């Protein structure tokens, strides 16, 4: 058992260091470009995960709402409560989402994206509460090892690109990240507003609440932020 703990401690210690490859203070402009593109890819991966959670939850609600039209009033009322609850529980499970600041009026798109990149790089991503136990520690440690290997492979792949390719990739990723961040924040706001509306009516009887639930769902499905992504496939 002591040998197992020593192995786990060694793995955890190795993964407690910086996840990204180190760049020395004397790095060339190419090295800085490599590091920027690397951070862009990591930032995109960190935002894509919660973005897909929100998108999939809202699209599932859309499908279930359309299907519920064939149910009677009481069954549909129950289904609408359930489908809304499945969406708003993401707000309660804070570790599944990211809290990103809004863009300041004075910020250019690239400056704003850079701020988000630095913020997520510092935070390292929000983690779920630890449950404890050797199995949990082992699972988390092995997952960290896999992530570190994946990051290292990504870094080597980026290093293999020419400087001109890196510049084009950097410009493309800045634009892509800006669009992704805006879409994520738009969906997050829709879910936050739905959560607030749902909580305000949780003690209402069925007679006034039934049409209110329908209104809440329709408001979500007609929101510009959702209309922009409703054609995207579930992931």
Q: Residue 139 CB: number of other CB atoms within 10 A? A: 12
Condensed to tens digits (0 to 9), the pLDDT of residues 124-167 reads: 644 434 445 555 545 556 557 777 788 888 889 999 999 999 99
pTM, to two decimals: 0.79
Q: Report the distance separating Cα 69 and Cα 37, nearest Å.
A: 47
Q: Report the distance separating Cα 176 and Cα 40, nearest Å.
A: 10
> What confidence tier does 2 reach under pLDDT thresholds 50, 70, 90?
very low
Contact 71, 79 (CB under 8 A): yes
pLDDT value at position 28?
74
Condensed to tens digits (0 to 9), the pLDDT of residues 51-89 reads: 999 999 999 999 999 999 989 999 999 999 999 999 999
Condensed to tens digits (0 to 9), the pLDDT of residues 109-127 reads: 999 999 999 999 988 644 4
Contact 85, 57 (CB under 8 A): no
Using alpha carbons, select from 90, 96, 91 the residue that is nearest to residue 49.
Answer: 96
Please indicate whether residue 126 or residue 176 has the higher confidence score (pLDDT).
Answer: 176
Give the CA distances from residue 185 to residues 46, 118, 122, in Å, rounded to whole numbers and listed in that order.
14, 17, 20
Q: Report the distance separating Cα 39 and Cα 20, nearest Å.
A: 8
Using alpha carbons, select from 147, 152, 123 the residue that is nearest to residue 11.
Answer: 147
Condensed to tens digits (0 to 9), the pLDDT of residues 192-202 reads: 999 999 999 99
Which tokens hold the place of 27? 């790095």
Using alpha carbons, select from 144, 231, 183, 147 the residue that is nearest to residue 48.
Answer: 183
Q: CA 161, 166, 168: angle at the middle one, nearest 5?
A: 130
Q: Report the distance separating Cα 67 and Cα 80, nearest Å.
A: 11
pLDDT cut 90: percent of the chain above it: 65
């Amino acid at each position: 058992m002591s040998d197992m703990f020593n192995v786990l401690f060694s793995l955890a210690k190795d993964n407690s260091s910086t996840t990204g490859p180190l760049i020395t203070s004397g790095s060339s402009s190419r090295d800085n470009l490599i590091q920027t593109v690397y951070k862009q890819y990591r930032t995109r991966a960190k935002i894509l995960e919660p973005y897909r959670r929100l998108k999939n939850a809202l699209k599932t609600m859309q499908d279930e709402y359309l299907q519920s039209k064939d149910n009677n009033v009481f069954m549909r009322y129950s289904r609408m409560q359930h489908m809304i609850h499945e969406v708003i529980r993401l707000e309660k499970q804070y570790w599944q989402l990211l809290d990103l600041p809004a863009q300041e009026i004075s910020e250019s798109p690239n400056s704003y994206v850079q701020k988000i990149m630095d913020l997520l790089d510092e935070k390292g991503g929000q983690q779920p509460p630890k449950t404890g136990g050797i199995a949990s520690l082992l699972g988390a440690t092995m997952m960290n090892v896999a992530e570190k290997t994946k990051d290292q492979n990504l870094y080597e792949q980026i290093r293999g690109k020419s400087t001109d390719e890196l510049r084009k990739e950097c410009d493309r990723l800045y634009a892509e990240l800006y669009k992704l961040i805006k879409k994520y924040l738009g969906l997050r706001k829709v879910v936050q507003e739905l959560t607030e509306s749902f909580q305000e009516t949780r003690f209402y009887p069925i007679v006034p609440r039934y049409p209110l639930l329908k209104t809440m769902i329709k408001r979500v499905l007609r929101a510009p932020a959702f209309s922009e992504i409703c054609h995207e496939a579930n992931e």
